[in-house]
Structure 1
Amino acid sequence: MTTSQRESHASPSAVVNQPPAHRRWVMLALGTAAQTAACAFVYGMPYLIPSLRSAEGLTLAQAGVMVACPTVGLLLALYAWGAATDRYGERWVLAGGLGLATAALVGAQAAHGLVVLGLLFAVAGAAGASVSAASGRVVLGWFPPERRGLAMGVRQTSTPLGMLVAAVAVPPISAAHGLPGAVLFVAVLSGVMAVLTALFVVDPPRPAPTAKQKDEKPASPYRGATLWRIHGASALMVWPQFTVGAFGLVYLTDVRHWPAVAAGQLMACGQALAAVCRIAAGRWSDAVGSRLRPMRWLAGAVAVLGAVLAAAGDSAVGVVLLIVLTGLSASTNGLSFTSVAELAGPGWAGRALAVQNTGQNLTASLCPPAVGALITAAGFGSAFAVAAGCALASIAVLPPRVPTTD
């Protein structure tokens, strides 16, 4: 498909004049950095478990509840932030949400007790949800259709980057300065990005409404099943991603008998591969003028690799398959987000991305306990086989075509 053909299928936001290239990349950098800062807290909470247990005297189960609090807050607030983004724009939603998250984390730095800390962490997670709803719109609004896949692929590296920042920084800071020092670190990250987004983020241009559009609300893109099918397929792809991400290290230590440090280093390589795969998948989708075709092929590859890994047992090839699967299972994330935003259009993109995030985070919350129980009952092979089945099911759930890109 040629560039002109791709543009003919673009969403309404693509018809406005595009800005200078350097401004687009500044917006991409700011959106990625803002999401990385939010992810460092929300998904970096497990690295606070030793400090939570020693400083607050929590049991492992209580510490696990604390780890879940930011995600609970995020899930409850995502749609509201998406609606605010659609109505008021991206800049102040980003800055306001990050500012509120900073305030909650500063409060948590001086707080004590399971209830008070849990509430503050939940508030910080709910405030940080603004980034998930708004930063994707910033990226997609500034980039033309033939560059959106690459741009969203870069932006979606923020999740592994945030986890990497937390993994590298939180344990030594906790060891040196305790729980308050670690919480202050993520608060500073959030505060810095609140200031930078307030100063430098510019809301992307939106098409001027027609006289009829001024009198009518944008039609809901949820009147058909297409968006719901993309949401469902992307949620299914989260299952293999979190199966290998959450239990890959355990597989290496318990099945392959690797030292924990070496296993952690290898899984870090897998996360780096995941970031590269997201960027490459986005670029591929731009080149072929489709988001869903690459998603189908990648989901098929994940299904095949998961099935082979399930059959590999404790053989050495399982290590290679595990790391490749860690990268590929994360590769479709940016494709689904881009397709959702393009299909929803500028009037609904914030809410649609919020629904997309909600489905993915619900799956991410359900996957670890369910997979842990499955591994305990039936072994790693069964868990990898279920992951392969979810990837295969996502292909069937995906719609055959969408009018914006395919």
Structure 2
Amino acid sequence: MTVNSTPQTADPAVSRPVSKSLVPLLTGGMGLSMLVLYTIGALGPSIIDDLGISRSRLGLLPAVAFGTATVLSLYAGHLTDLVGGRRAFIVLTALIGADFALLAAGHGYPMLLVALVLAGVPQALANPSTNKLIAAHLPPQRRALAIGIKQSGAPLAALIAGLSLPALAHALSWRTAILLVVPIALLASVAAAATLPRDQAPTGPRVLSLPAAPNAATRWLMAYSLCVGCGLASLSTYLPLYAHQRLGMGEQQAGALISAIGLSGIITRVLWARFSSRLSDIPSSLLVLAVAALGFAVLIPAATHGTWLVWIGALGLGGSAAAANAVSMIAVTKGRGFGQTGHASALVSMGFFAGFVAGPIAFGLLADGRAGFGGGWTLVCAVFLAALLCARAGRVTLRASA
């Protein structure tokens, strides 16, 4: 089977005034859905010291969350098309509150794993539900910027996590710091129920089904997202630990590296979204981002010769690798050959999440072995190189189908 390539059109609701809370809420929801990754990264030194676990077991924590998200992404797109973006978004924000409560309350490593399995559910729903709401309630000329802004929610979460969580963990405890997320997520769920536009009646099949097999356009974008996700998850999970253990930084300073990624990611996701909306050749944007990510990734292991290099690397990777997912979502939402928004978003997100599973596990095993952190950073450079090759293949595929 092939994915329906009919361009997406806005729902009739786009002709009506849209709540001013739409884009801010979607931005917050995207940030909350990814916050667990940045929480594990920012609090990694505290978690390892408290539980006495290895680097590879730390990497397993975000991996199980994104493993769940990868599997559920097979159904999340159609589920969102079936129940509506608004309902899916309300559910995902409520689940985030429940998940962080469980994460804070659970004692011992096995309970953390259970909590992170649950965290995969809102992650799977995040892109399909937010993209569905944008496609349904905003006109085409406003969608690219809206996508860029709401995708900046993830680096915004990184910025907040890196600045606040290590300090809160030092003053209180890392579990108490996590618990503070719960009321924020529940408030977002209530606000969504009160202000988001009502869902329209579904037009597709009423029976939940797997997405159609991806076409060529979707396949290369999934492969690209897999590679970028692998590198970005490794970076977000292990950069503070590397800075603390190998570069001698304090826990709060090491955690601030996550904020550096987030700060540059916020700015560049919005800028790239505005720029890419004017391009007919989106793979060119993705190619540039992959080249930049590879160049900045090389600076991280070189930071043993000067810690200032790790800050440049973090800022650069936030502006390249962290921005790539926003450009991928613009490609999906523009609907040129990728099929229905919900299904296509879920398939591309599945590739991205699969990278978030593989990256931290592989990096952790390398870091615990003879290769050490150097082997882990070599892996990160290799997957960004693979992303570059995927983007080149995407340019050829889309030109051939034009």
TM range (shorter): 0.7 to 0.9
TM-score scaled by structure 2? 0.77
Letter in 2 for 1:298: L
Q: Distance in 2 between matches of 1:326 and 1:393?
A: 20
Relative to 1, partners in 2 of residues 1:376 and 1:396: Cα closer, same or farther, differing over 3 Å? same
Q: Distance in 2 between matches of 1:222 and 1:42?
A: 29
| Deviation sequence 1:206-240 (CA, Å, 0-9, x none) | 9x97xxx8999999764632211111122223344
1:146 maps onto 2:141 in alignment: yes
Bigger drift between 66-75 and 277-286 goes to 66-75
Letter in 1 for 2:148: G
Q: Decide which of 354, 357, 370 is 2:349's aligned counterpart.
A: 357
Relative to 1, partners in 2 of residues 1:255 and 1:139: Cα closer, same or farther, differing over 3 Å? same
Which residue number in structure 2 is paired with residue 131 of structure 1?
126
1:59 maps onto 2:50 in alignment: no
Bigger drift between 334-343 and 298-307 goes to 298-307
1:225 maps onto 2:229 in alignment: no
Q: Decide which of 196, 200, 221 is 2:195's aligned counterpart.
A: 200
Which residue number in structure 2 is paired with residue 367 of structure 1?
359
1:26 maps onto 2:16 in alignment: no
Which residue number in structure 1 is paired with residue 274 of structure 2?
283
Q: Decide which of 318, 334, 346 is 2:326's aligned counterpart.
A: 334
Q: Decide which of 75, 83, 93 is 1:80's aligned counterpart.
A: 75
Q: Distance in 1 between matches of 2:275 and 2:7?
A: 19
Q: Distance in 2 between matches of 1:273 and 1:189?
A: 24
Which residue number in structure 2 is paired with residue 98 of structure 1?
93
Q: CA deviation at 1:195?
A: 0.9
Q: Decide which of 382, 385, 397 is 1:386's aligned counterpart.
A: 382
Relative to 1, partners in 2 of residues 1:29 and 1:137: Cα closer, same or farther, differing over 3 Å? same
Bigger drift between 338-347 and 186-195 goes to 338-347
SS at structure 2 position matched to 1:91:
helix
Letter in 2 for 1:165: I
CA contact (8 A) 2:163 2:256 kept: no
Bigger drift between 345-354 and 92-101 goes to 345-354
Task: Flag structure 2 segments of 5+ consecutive residues without an equivalent.
Answer: none
SS at structure 1 position matched to 2:14:
coil
Q: CA deviation at 1:86?
A: 0.8
Letter in 2 for 1:182: A
| Deviation sequence 1:162-181 (CA, Å, 0-9, x none) | 22323333334444554553
Relative to 1, partners in 2 of residues 1:138 and 1:402: Cα closer, same or farther, differing over 3 Å? farther
Matched length: 391
SS at structure 1 position matched to 2:197:
coil
Q: CA deviation at 1:282?
A: 0.6
Which residue number in structure 2 is paired with residue 3 of structure 1?
none
Letter in 2 for 1:232: A
Bigger drift between 103-112 and 362-371 goes to 103-112
Larger Rg, first or second structure (1 or 2) = 1
Q: Distance in 1 between matches of 2:92 and 2:115?
A: 14
| Deviation sequence 1:341-382 (CA, Å, 0-9, x none) | 333899832232222222112212222343452852866884
Q: Distance in 2 between matches of 1:40 and 1:72?
A: 16
Q: Distance in 2 between matches of 1:179 and 1:317?
A: 27
1:299 maps onto 2:290 in alignment: yes
Bigger drift between 66-75 and 9-18 goes to 9-18
CA contact (8 A) 1:37 1:193 kept: no
Which residue number in structure 2 is paired with residue 236 of structure 1?
227
**Percent pairwise identity:** 19
Q: CA deviation at 1:120?
A: 3.6
Q: CA deviation at 1:284?
A: 0.5
CA contact (8 A) 1:142 1:204 kept: no
Q: Distance in 1 between matches of 2:291 and 2:59?
A: 34
SS at structure 2 position matched to 1:12:
coil
Q: CA deviation at 1:280?
A: 0.9
Q: Decide which of 42, 45, 56 is 2:40's aligned counterpart.
A: 45
TM-score scaled by structure 1? 0.77
Letter in 2 for 1:160: P
CA contact (8 A) 2:80 2:88 kept: yes
SS at structure 2 position matched to 1:11:
coil
Q: Distance in 1 between matches of 2:305 and 2:196?
A: 50
Q: Distance in 1 between matches of 2:275 and 2:153?
A: 19
Task: Flag structure 1 segments of 5+ consecutive residues without an equivalent.
Answer: 1-8
CA contact (8 A) 2:155 2:266 kept: yes
Q: Decide which of 187, 195, 201 is 2:182's aligned counterpart.
A: 187
CA contact (8 A) 1:10 1:145 kept: no
Q: Distance in 2 between matches of 1:128 and 1:167?
A: 20
| Deviation sequence 1:236-289 (CA, Å, 0-9, x none) | 233444455555557767887777655554553343112211111110012234
